[in-house]
């Protein structure tokens, strides 16, 4: 369930020195985030693009976000990394 979103979130967390809770312990993200849409957007990220997206410079992340049309995923990961979702999803 939502394996692409979890995979990308876990990769981002690992690159930034923290872990994430199992998805069953995540808060309800609706209505701010559509988890199905986030998972679809995360499915576009593989290999080098994934690494650039989760651990690249700000301009690199912006380029990947725009080229793959994944702004909601970028917003979600920003909240997990240093926003209000960090305490709710990160370990």
Domain ranges of the chain: 3-89
Average pLDDT (72-83) is 95
What confidence score (pLDDT) does residue 1 get?
64
Query: Does 25 score more than 80 pLDDT?
Result: yes
- Residue 20, pLDDT above cutoff 70: yes
Tell me if 80 sits within 8 A of 13, measured CB to CB: yes
Averaged confidence pLDDT in the chain: 95
Residue 73 has what DSSP assignment?
H
pLDDT class of 2 with cuts at 50, 70, 90: confident
Position 68 scores a pLDDT of 97
Q: What is the pLDDT of residue 37?
A: 96
35-74 tens-digit pLDDT: 999 999 999 999 999 999 999 999 999 999 999 999 999 9
Give dist(CA 69, CA 19) in Å, integer: 26
Residue reference for tokens 């593989």: 46
């Amino acid at each position: 369930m939502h394996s692409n979103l979890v995979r990308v979130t876990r990769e981002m967390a690992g690159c930034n020195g923290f872990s994430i809770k199992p998805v069953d312990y995540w808060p309800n993200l609706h209505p701010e985030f559509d988890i199905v849409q986030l998972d679809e957007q995360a499915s576009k990220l593989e290999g080098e693009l994934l690494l650039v997206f989760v651990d690249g410079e700000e301009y690199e992340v912006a380029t990947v976000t725009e080229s793959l049309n994944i702004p909601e995923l970028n917003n979600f990961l920003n909240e997990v990394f240093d926003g209000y979702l960090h305490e709710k999803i990160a370990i």
